Amino acid sequence: TLLKEQKPEKTPLTVQIDRVTLFIIGMAVLAFVSILVLGLFQGEPFTKLFTIGISLAIGSIPDALPAVVISILAMGTVAMAGKNAIIKSLPAVETLGSTSAINSDKTGTLTMNQMTVRVITTVEHRYIVSGEGYSFSGTIQRTEGDAQENLDHLLFPCALCIDTEISDGQVIGDPTEAALYVLAQKGGINVPEFRKNNPRIASVPFDSEYKFMATFHHHKDSDGTSCIRAYVKGAPDVIVSLSSYGLMADGSAKKLTDGDKQKILAENDRIAQRGLRVLAFARKDIDPEFFDPKANLLALIQDLTITSLIGAVDPPRPEAKDAIARAKQAGIRVRMVTGDHAVTAAAIGEELGIDGRAITGAELAAMSDEQAVHEIDSIGVIARVAPEHKVRLVEVLKKKGDIVAMTGDGVNDAPALKAADIGIAMGMSGTDVAKNAAKMILTDDNFSTIVSAIEEGRKIYDNLQKFLRIQIANLFMFILAFLGSSVFAIAGTALFTPGQVLWIHMLTVAPIGAAMGFDVSAPGIMTRKPRRSDESIIPLRMYVRLFGIGFFMAASALVMYQIGHRVYGSQHLGQTMGLVTLSLLNIFVALNLRFPYDSAFHISTFSNRRLLYSYLWVIFGTILITESRVFQTLFHTVGLTGELWLFCLIPGVVLFLGGEFFKAVLKEKRNSF
């Protein structure tokens, strides 16, 4: 039901591209209508005006935008696949790069998913367990208690109350159960043979709602009386609440008082504070005459005899701590969600470097929306989570304005994966339901892969901004140049021929824009704060800046036209000088806008080989269109002298130096705050 309730939404990128596209189309239509109206008012023939207006509109609209966006996202998808992140939806590439909050499962993502039992506590004894991973080498050694007790009450359920197999060191099933399998082996039980000799006659499978598992087996008491014994394992607080007795070292059962239960829970907290995951074991003997394996077995799980607690460790991935630190530096808040006890989860979160206090999923659910949004920044770990708690966490963060990534591997994780802006499923341990609900799949189940993918996503978004900046600057340039020419009667509607407009658009702006779209990562890209979910891909201040650049380019083209036309007496010379000026200006615009807040006097200016080649092409193409007789005929251009080439270069140099001065002023203002 939760999964059906989650409706697909447009990604932040899709929304922003739609807005920019509408803006560009609107401006192009406005320019077309203006040229048409002004031209008719000045007595120009409609056919000529329509042709020039269409050319202007084509020159203004970045028709390469869909192809460039798709290509950028596709190349990003390929790059992420090489880093073990499979993207199912192209826009999700950028969404990941905009992520400001990551809710990560603990087991297998932040940790190794290789559980190993470290400590055992019974009523009168404590033990430590040696050995690593899923090797059967290791011992169980007593650290507290007088006489050695019989540990069959612990080892039997470790062998029987699990659904996991280990074959040739490979685990088939749950890692926590694998740790119990290994513990039974270390305690001297041959698990496969023991299972054959003690077959399961019924079971209650584990469920996150009641947080325990039980199996039923034929058994004989010490006096030889036959019974059905239920072995139960689960969350300590749940098992304690279901238990009425405690197993003593001599095998007798003691009625538990409230004080006894508090002592057990205190021992649970003591183990959990070491970052260990704690499981409790209990049992119950049932008269065979009153046992029906087809009846409601849950009703039998009460008045249990609690036998022991075990503490198992799932070591944090060595790279996870570094990845969390990188995410923190990038302004991304990492939260850990887990089914563990809150104390255990808090200890692991602290070890991993996750900021914030630990609360339970129930505590989050009990908060009002306003309270949850207010307090969420102080929360770093959510323990004892149920599926609906994960969905609530996603909704709270989205309401706060975060772009949320959510990891998960189980069927119960699917609603939260679908609700998140970017759902991330585990490729190795994930279920098909989780993978279908997610937009990204980690083939290595590793948290550090998420951070690497975020860096790739940020680069993609940054490159889309670079591409749009140079396109919009030229959009403003075309509109202002043609309108200025008509309004001030400089060249009427004949500032440039349709062919010249298309040359600038297709063979000058497009190559530079495409190269910007496939740029390398900008310096310090992972030290920036994530963008807000409602932030425009081109902010208002940048639009103002692009308008200023477009205005300067248009003014430069008009001035050069005037020099050629008025001073040298040739309209074709004026058009050629304007064309050359705009072509060279685009190189300097690219140098200025590639890193809009960092100086171009840096080695990174030469880091994009494609962009350097596009600069060379623009220079070569500009020479070709002005100095070749064939192109002079096609595009109505004329050759220029060295002096005129120098004139055409001056606006570009002025724009470049002015841009560097502007960046220096901006940097000084930022440093002063």
Catalytic residues: 105
Residue 130 token pair: 């040696």
Identify the burial level of 147 via C-beta atoms within 10 angstroms of its C-beta, where 0-12 means exposed, 13-18 middle and 19 or more buried. exposed
Percent of the chain that is helix, strand, coil (3-state, to 5) = 55, 15, 25
Identify the burial level of 658 via C-beta atoms within 10 angstroms of its C-beta, where 0-12 means exposed, 13-18 middle and 19 or more buried. middle
C-alpha to C-alpha distance for 307 and 239, rounded to whole angstroms:
10
Classify the phi-psi angles of 637: left when phi > 0, otherwise alpha if psi is within -120 to 50, otherwise beta: beta
C-alpha to C-alpha distance for 71 and 92, rounded to whole angstroms:
14
Classify the phi-psi angles of 264: left when phi > 0, otherwise alpha if psi is within -120 to 50, otherwise beta: alpha
Terminal Cα-to-Cα distance of the chain (whole angstroms): 50
Residue 654 token pair: 């002025």
Among 245, 239, 218, residue whose Cα is nearest residue 230:
218
Dihedral sign computed on CA atoms, order 658, 662, 663, 665: positive
Please tell me what DSSP assigns to residue 111. Answer: B
C-alpha to C-alpha distance for 62 and 506, rounded to whole angstroms:
9
CB 179 within 8 A of CB 312: yes
Element (H, E) at 76: helix 65-81
C-alpha to C-alpha distance for 59 and 373, rounded to whole angstroms:
47
C-alpha to C-alpha distance for 78 and 86, rounded to whole angstroms:
8
Element (H, E) at 277: strand 277-286
Rounded to the nearest angstrom, the gap between the alpha carbon of residue 9 and the centroid of all alpha carbons in its chain is 16
Element (H, E) at 441: strand 440-442
**Three-class DSSP category at 281:** strand
Other Cβ atoms less than 10 A from the Cβ of 332: the count is 22
Return the amino acid letter for 392: R
CB 198 within 8 A of CB 213: no
CB 129 within 8 A of CB 309: no
Q: Which residues pair with 203 in a beta bridge?
A: 215
Among 307, 300, 311, 261, residue whose Cα is nearest residue 283:
307
CB 3 within 8 A of CB 418: yes
Greatest extent of the chain over all pairs of C-alpha atoms, in Å: 121
C-alpha to C-alpha distance for 127 and 309, rounded to whole angstroms:
11
Please give the backbone phi and psi of residue 127, each rounded to the nearest 5 degrees, phi first: -135, 155
Please tell me what DSSP assigns to residue 523. Answer: T
The residue length of the chain stands at 673
Distances (CA, A) of 116 to 131, 133, 221, 345, 589: 8, 6, 31, 16, 60
Long-range contacts of 605-610 (CB under 8 A, 24+ apart): 607/520, 608/515, 608/518, 608/519, 608/520, 610/514, 610/515, 610/518, 610/519
DSSP string, 191-219: HHHHHHHS-EEEEE---TTT-EEEEEEEE
